[in-house]
Chains A and B, each alone.
Chain A
Amino acid sequence: MRYRLPIFNPTMKNQTFKVYIIEDDTWYGSMLQHYLSLNPEYEVKRFETPGDFFAELHNKPDVVTLDYSLPDCDGAEVLRKIKETNPEVRVIIISGQEDVATAINLLKNGAFDYIVKDDDTKDRLWNSILHLREISDLKQEVETLKIQVGRKYDFSEMIIGKSEAIKKVFALIEKAVNTNITVSITGETGSGKEMVAKAIHYNSPRQKLPFVTVNVAAIPKDLIESELFGHEKGAFTGAITRRIGKFEEADKGTLFLDEIGELDINLQSKLLRVLQEKEITRVGGNGTVKIDVRIIVATHKNLMEEVKNKNFREDLYYRLIGMPVNIPPLRERDNDICILAKTFTDNFCKENKLPKKTISPETQQKLLQYSFPGNVRELKSVMELAVVMADDEIILPEHITFNTTSSIADLLGKEITLKEFETQVIQHYLDKYDKDVLLVAKKLDIGKSTIYRMVQMGELNIK
């Protein structure tokens, strides 16, 4: 028989990993101790009695290898006491018994692994500890990421703005996080509805549990029922296995139903029943599954209008409306446009390792004059393009490019004064015709001196 020396895993973190061995057989225990000590990252201690071990348990070992047959005390009892004292400690049972029932019981009671004493014990123990370390590292990574995600959705950091309009949204989020009330978020496209939903979830007591998003408009009508509620094997052609739906996936967490106004009228009654009964029935299934899900919905539509037009059930509307949060369009958020523009510019420069760029006052003015029909999402892409277009460290108005077709259409829908309207129309033409004042004056049938006077007043930009 040939024996292999252990191979060290180079990905392991360079930190001491405490391995405690409980083994009454001095000879066998010494052998295991020496073998595991070949890994320099392990701090290995050996105990011949459970009493000696429990006196050291306060030092928090990462893993304990436990001989099942100890004098005057069996391994099951020692395992129970370890788990009672510190459930985080992983226990690997090493046993001379080849009894399957005993092994299953030990694993059920929290043992990490069960290894029978034979020629391969040392290799299996080595691999089991490596596996355990990988799981521990992954667990640690998940915890760290959860904290990072929590910070990411700290709404005072991620939903940026100081306007009165956005402060009202902050106040509503603060009220929403401490209860399970259904939240209905409305707002124009790109205004940040999903960001608000995540801010509520990641600041609520459910923050460590799933946040599941379903964009109702993006899923074909034929599939939405199965997507939401899951299906049993054979429920329909192609359902070759049982699949859980988004409601079950989000159990104990939050389900965000984006574009809820697009939900098929036939499914609305099923959704209403789920919300009332707090249980779902998978497609093709007979039994029900209890669920505990916090619901957040969002729509860009006026749901009340949809109810009046018989496109949305009134009873479901009242069930979903819960706490309404209306996100204001960017154009109604005063100077938030400039604050956000700076943030997006800084972030993009940092992510792409570019020198920091500043936004000129004229550029800020141009941004403030624009209506941003695509809201925050549009501003972000405008600023990222501007950073790319700007050769120097200052972003000038000519680096800002808007979708002019939609801006004119949107301009007509804005509540602004005639003077502001006039200014924006002239600026639009100036942008369109490369700041050619004479051509713009001719196109708009106004005097060129009118344009120059407005430029002098700072109302128009021809640079």
Chain B
Amino acid sequence: METTLLNNQGSKNNSIAGEKLYSLAMVEAVSGGNKEFIKKMILLFIDTIPKDVILLKNSCASKDWAQVAKTAHKLKSTIDSMAIRSIQQDIRTIETNAKLQTSVEILPDLAEKINHTINTCIVQLSGEIA
């Protein structure tokens, strides 16, 4: 699966102040009404996901495609569970292209888009628990 750089640029304009880029519906459903659990999952997201995104970016920069595929695969389930729709397809493109080593030249920009979106999510999520 491939995507073009033009498509990637389209969602870079997401505003921090605008609509939430994620949904906590699944986390809330899983929580069984436990608000502490929801807070714990938000903190865990803020604590762990950026590290993986940085690893994704660095691996793209060093052209370590095996590591890129692994990291993208790992991030995919969290991005899906948080329903971060604007990058769900991009993370899949990164995983597939890195695994097959096709059109890898688009991957650094896609990784940057994911980094940007995740950072926005973190700012928005921090507001949820403030």
Contact = CB atoms under 8 A, between A and B. Distances in A.
Partners in one complex: yes
A34 B80 contact: no
Interface stretch (A24-32, A77-85, A444-452): A24-32
A138 interface: no
Interface in B1-49: 23, 25-32, 34, 37, 40-41, 44-45, 48-49
B59 to A, nearest CB: 13
A71 B80 CA distance: 20
Contacts of A30: 40-41, 44
Contacts of B31: 34
Contact of A26 (B34, B48, B73, B81): B48
A115 to B, nearest CB: 12
Nearest to B72: A96
A122 B25 CA distance: 13
A27 B25 contact: no
Contact of B81 (A2, A28, A71): A28
Contacts of A3: 25-26, 28-30
Nearest to A94: B77
Given A3-B25, A3-B26, A25-B74, A117 B80 contact: yes
Contacts of A5: 29, 32
Most buried by A among B44, B74, B77: B77
Nearest to B45: A27
Interface string A1-25: 1111100000000000000000011
B70 interface: yes
A317 interface: no
Given A27-B41, A27-B44, A31-B41, A96 B30 contact: no
Interface in B62-94: 70, 73-74, 76-78, 80-81, 83
Contacts of A119: 26, 80, 83
Given A5-B32, A34-B30, A119-B26, A27 B49 contact: yes
Interface in A21-72: 24-28, 30-31, 34-35, 38, 69, 71
A114 to B, nearest CB: 15
A391 interface: no
A118 interface: yes
B26 A96 contact: no
A26 B34 CA distance: 19
18 contacts: A1-B26, A2-B25, A3-B25, A3-B26, A3-B28, A3-B30, A24-B74, A27-B44, A27-B78, A28-B78, A30-B40, A30-B41, A34-B30, A34-B31, A35-B30, A69-B73, A96-B73, A117-B76
Nearest 4 interchain pairs by C-beta? A3-B29, A35-B30, A28-B77, A117-B77
Given A3-B26, A4-B29, 8 more contacts: A1-B26, A1-B83, A24-B74, A25-B74, A31-B30, A96-B73, A119-B80, A122-B29
